[in-house]
Amino acid sequence: MNTELRDDCSHILLAEDDDAMREMLAFCLYRDGYRVTTCGDGLSLYRLLEAGATDFDLVITDIRMPALTGTKVLEAISDLQHRPPVLCMTAFGDEATRRQACQLGAIDLLDKPFDIDEFIEKVRRLCPAQRPALAL
Amino acid sequence: MRLTIKIAFALVLILAIFFSIHSWQSIQREREKIKASLSREARLVAGTLSKMVDEIMGRQGLPAALLFLERAGNLGRDLKVRWVWLGPGVEERFAPIDDDKLADARPGEAVTILAETHAGEDYLFTYMPVATPDGRLGAIEVSESLQEMRGYVGENVRRSAFTLGAGIACSLLLITVIGSFWVDRPVRRLAAEADRIASGDFSGPLHGFGQDEFGELALALERMRDQLASARNAEQLRLEALEKLRHTERLATLGRLSAGMAHELGTPLNVISGRAKMLQGMTEDEGIRRSAGIIFEQAERMTAIMRQLLNFARRNPPRKTAIDPDQLLTAVCDLLAPTADKQNVQLEHRCELVESRIMADAGQLQQVLVNLAMNGIQAMKDGGTLTLRCFRPDNPQPPEEVEPSDSWLAIEVTDQGCGIPADHLDHLFDPFFSTKDVGEGTGLGLSIAWGIARDHGGWIGVRSLVGRGSSFTLYLPDEAGKETA
């Protein structure tokens, strides 16, 4: 878990079970100026969100994960107040998975393998690295 | 040897034996008869002469009688008369032939002897013993040549032999002709039918073999044919069903396999391409940047293969819209133009459908045509012309699994490339069947194309001549035409 203080930065919660993938994405997001919290399974993701959903500006989660799948977490947090936007990832996803994720409230489904630049671009559009002025 | 000839020989042999025995017996009988009549004649002559000799001997003495006999000696060409003395110590002139029968000859009792002279001729000797006045026993010998009789018998034998020969020849001819009608012909026809059935042609019943044994054989053959035909049909149906099942199973396995692989490979591929890209951004070293670029490209290539595999494994149902075929062909040609230029291939397209629309998923149809055309371009290593043609086929022959339609539309992609060997044609649409070098193709393009054609209710037909080129035709049911009709 990355807990370096970047109070004025957007806070992203990244859930990915694959260490290499998690490390790479976290690194890229961090390099781009985000505050990043990571976890490696669905259950940790759910606990983090339950503990403080408002802490996060964006959730990026893999669908296939141990303990709880991404979709299960989406279902579980559907009644949470102030739920942050969720971006899902899956390896070679099909239409059905995409539809299911969107129905459960995900903004988009990223199809692994995706281009890292495009990924960053997408995250930037969803939430700029710097938090909006009202936070100050 | 042919059956007819064997039977003919057996029959003729029996006939010949019977006829020969019969002829032999009748000739023997005839011989006996002639001999008996000849000997009767000779006894008569000898008896008459003995009376006369007796008379002359009594009146004028022995020399006069012998003189008379000498004069009367030559009665005819084959009949000779002379005087002989019986008993031992006779000079040769007057000696009879040497035979035991003469030992106890008595006057007045004729003795008949059949003998062969040293000249090799048969003679019939008849002796009529006569007692001379001086008590010595002599005899009148009447000798008769049997030459005539032999000639007669010989003639009879010759005639019998000729009759037998002619009989044998006629019988042989007759039996051969009849045999060829009754045996050879039906046997040949039966053999031909059996060969036909053996070669796998189970059509039509066996007619015209009558009621005889061949008829029965034909009926048995007919029953065998029926059973073979039904067995083969059942076997064919079973194999087809099995093949379909296997195909479905293969596709299902492929689907599961590729989905599983995709899930496992997606993330590592993402890590590789992502790290490669990061590496490019981190360094100014040209060598490292280039290597990172190559790693990125190769990861992308693997991704492309995986996507194609998945495209095949999970295809979406077509979203049909009305497509202008001319526009479709133009779009496909535009897409292909850079590749075609590079390979020195001319692209031609013509649309023979006026004001027609094709009901199909534009993206999928384009994918099929691009795939077929790319294969065509790759088959033309030395350049050539690739022709895309849209037309209304005259009399298409849809495969069994395709639902029949009144009207069809066709898009044909024809190349002038190397052609496809006949043994490859059956596997063209099988997943992973590829003749391209490793790394150049996944062998999925045509099976995806086939799947899309089937999803649209159509199929893809192939014609190919090795060395001349190939022609792939995508047939689609004319749904737009049906609606307007």
Q: Are residues B100 and B224 in the same domain?
A: no
Q: How many domains does chain A have?
A: 1
Q: Cα(B241)–Cα(B235) distance, rounded to whole angstroms?
A: 10
Beta strands in B29-151 (DSSP E): 79-85, 111-116, 122-131, 137-145
CATH number for position B255: 1.10.287
Full domain range(s) for residue B269 = 204-314
Residue of A nearest to B262 (CA): A92
Q: Are residues B229 and B275 in the same domain?
A: yes
Nearest residue, CB atoms, A24 vs list B275, B299, B306: B275
CATH number for position B348: 3.30.565.10
Window from B41-55, B83-97, B209-223, B336-350 with minimum mean pLDDT:
B83-97
Cβ distance A117 to B277 less than 8 Å, yes or no, reads: yes
Q: Is the residue at A135 inside a domain?
A: no
CATH number for position B134: 3.30.450
pTM of the model: 0.50
Q: Is the residue at A47 inside a domain?
A: yes
Cβ contact A9:A130 at 8 Å: yes
Measured between beta carbons, which residues in chain A are less than 8 angstroms from residue B259? 92
**Burial of B475 from C-beta contacts in 10 A (0-12 / 13-18 / 19+):** buried
Q: Cα(B152)–Cα(B223) distance, rounded to whole angstroms?
A: 65
Q: Are residues B128 and B265 in the same domain?
A: no
* Residues on chain B bordering chain A, Cβ-to-Cβ distance under 8 angstroms: 259, 262-275, 277-278, 299, 303, 306-307, 310, 314, 316
Q: Is the residue at B249 inside a domain?
A: yes
* Sign of the four-CA dihedral A122, A123, A128, A130: negative
Q: Is the residue at A5 inside a domain?
A: no
Measured between beta carbons, which residues in chain A are less than 8 angstroms from residue B311? none
- Answer whether A18 touches B (CB < 8 Å): yes
Q: Is the residue at B190 inside a domain?
A: no
Nearest residue, CB atoms, A92 vs list B273, B275, B306: B306
CATH number for position A46: 3.40.50.2300
Q: Cα(A81)–Cα(A78) distance, rounded to whole angstroms?
A: 8
Nearest residue, CB atoms, A113 vs list B264, B270, B314: B270
Full domain range(s) for residue A102 = 11-130
pLDDT band at A89 (very low <50, low <70, confident <90, very high): very high
Among residues B85, B119, B154, which one ends one of the domains?
B154
Among residues B115, B137, B154, which one ends one of the domains?
B154
**Is the confidence at residue B291, as pLDDT, over 90?**
yes
Window from B151-165, B339-353, B468-482 with minimum mean pLDDT:
B468-482
Closest CA to B379 of B447, B331, B441: B441
Q: Is the residue at A6 inside a domain?
A: no
Cβ distance A114 to B268 less than 8 Å, yes or no, reads: no
Q: Are residues B298 and B369 in the same domain?
A: no
Residue of A nearest to B263 (CA): A91
Helix (H) / strand (E) element for B470: namely strand B469-477
Measured between beta carbons, which residues in chain B are less than 8 angstroms from residue A66? none
Q: Is the residue at B62 inside a domain?
A: yes
Disruptive mutation site among A112, A120, A122, A123 for chain B (greatest number of B CBs within 10 Å): A112
Instruction: State how beta strands B79-85 and B111-116 pair.
Output: unpaired
Cβ distance A92 to B264 less than 8 Å, yes or no, reads: no
| pLDDT at residue B429, as a whole number | 84
Residues in contact with A48: Cβ distance below 8 Å, sequence separation at least 6, in sequence order: A13, A37, A39, A56
Q: Is the residue at A123 inside a domain?
A: yes
Instruction: State how beta strands B345-351 and B384-391 pair.
Output: parallel
| pLDDT at residue B118, as a whole number | 63
Q: Is the residue at B191 inside a domain?
A: no
| pLDDT at residue A135, as a whole number | 42
Q: Are residues B441 and B362 in the same domain?
A: yes
Measured between beta carbons, which residues in chain B are less than 8 angstroms from residue A95? 316
* Sign of the four-CA dihedral B37, B40, B44, B46: positive
Q: Is the residue at B59 inside a domain?
A: yes
Nearest residue, CB atoms, B270 vs list A94, A95, A114: A114
Tens digits of residue pLDDT in B400-446: 778 888 888 999 999 998 888 888 888 888 877 777 776 666 777 88
Q: Is the residue at B327 inside a domain?
A: yes
* Identity of the residue numbered A124: R
Q: How many domains does chain B have?
A: 3
Q: Cα(B281)–Cα(B293) distance, rounded to whole angstroms?
A: 11
Q: Is the residue at A125 inside a domain?
A: yes
* Mean pLDDT of the B71-94 span: 78
Nearest residue, CB atoms, A113 vs list B264, B269, B310: B269
Distances (CA, A) of B308 to B267, B313, B374: 17, 9, 15
**Is the confidence at residue B40, as pLDDT, over 50?**
yes
Q: Cα(A61)–Cα(A87) distance, rounded to whole angstroms?
A: 6
Return the C-alpha torsion angle B115, B118, B121, B126, nearest 10.
-30
CA distance A81 to chain B (A): 32
Measured between beta carbons, which residues in chain A are less than 8 angstroms from residue B310? 92, 94
Q: Are residues B16 and B134 in the same domain?
A: yes
| pLDDT at residue B439, as a whole number | 60
Q: Cα(B207)–Cα(A113) distance, rounded to whole angstroms?
A: 72
Contacts 24+ apart (CB under 8 A), B42-48: B42/B79, B42/B112, B42/B124, B42/B126, B42/B142, B42/B144, B43/B110, B43/B112, B43/B126, B43/B128, B45/B75, B45/B79, B45/B81, B45/B126, B45/B142, B46/B81, B46/B110, B46/B126, B46/B127, B46/B128, B46/B140, B46/B142, B47/B110, B47/B128
Q: Is the residue at B234 inside a domain?
A: yes
**Is the confidence at residue B193, as pLDDT, over 60?**
yes
| pLDDT at residue B432, as a whole number | 73
For A:64-123, CB contacts with B below 8 A are 64, 90-92, 94-95, 111-117
Cβ distance A115 to B266 less than 8 Å, yes or no, reads: no
Q: Are residues B301 and B437 in the same domain?
A: no
Q: Is the residue at B162 inside a domain?
A: no
C-alpha of A12 from chain center: 6
Disruptive mutation site among A116, A118, A121, A122 for chain B (greatest number of B CBs within 10 Å): A116
CA distance B270 to chain A (A): 4
**Is the confidence at residue A35, as pLDDT, over 80?**
yes
pLDDT band at B46 (very low <50, low <70, confident <90, very high): confident
Residues in contact with B254: Cβ distance below 8 Å, sequence separation at least 6, in sequence order: B309, B312, B313, B431
Q: Cα(A34)–Cα(A8) distance, rounded to whole angstroms?
A: 9
Disruptive mutation site among B271, B282, B297, B315 for chain A (greatest number of A CBs within 10 Å): B271
Q: Are residues B330 and B422 in the same domain?
A: yes
Q: Are residues B383 and B468 in the same domain?
A: yes
Among residues B288, B314, B340, which one ends one of the domains?
B314
Cβ distance B267 to A28 less than 8 Å, yes or no, reads: no
| pLDDT at residue B482, as a whole number | 52
Q: Is the residue at A20 inside a domain?
A: yes
Q: Are residues B234 and B328 in the same domain?
A: no
3-state secondary structure string, B147-192? HHHHHHHHHHHHHHHHHHHHHHHHHHHHHHHHHHHHHHHHHHHHHH
For B114, list phi and psi in degrees, rounded to 5. Answer: -100, 120
C-alpha of B470 from chain center: 37
* Mean pLDDT of the B391-404 span: 84
Tally C-beta pairs within 8 A across A and B.
Answer: 59
Residues in contact with B58: Cβ distance below 8 Å, sequence separation at least 6, in sequence order: B133
Q: Is the residue at A60 inside a domain?
A: yes
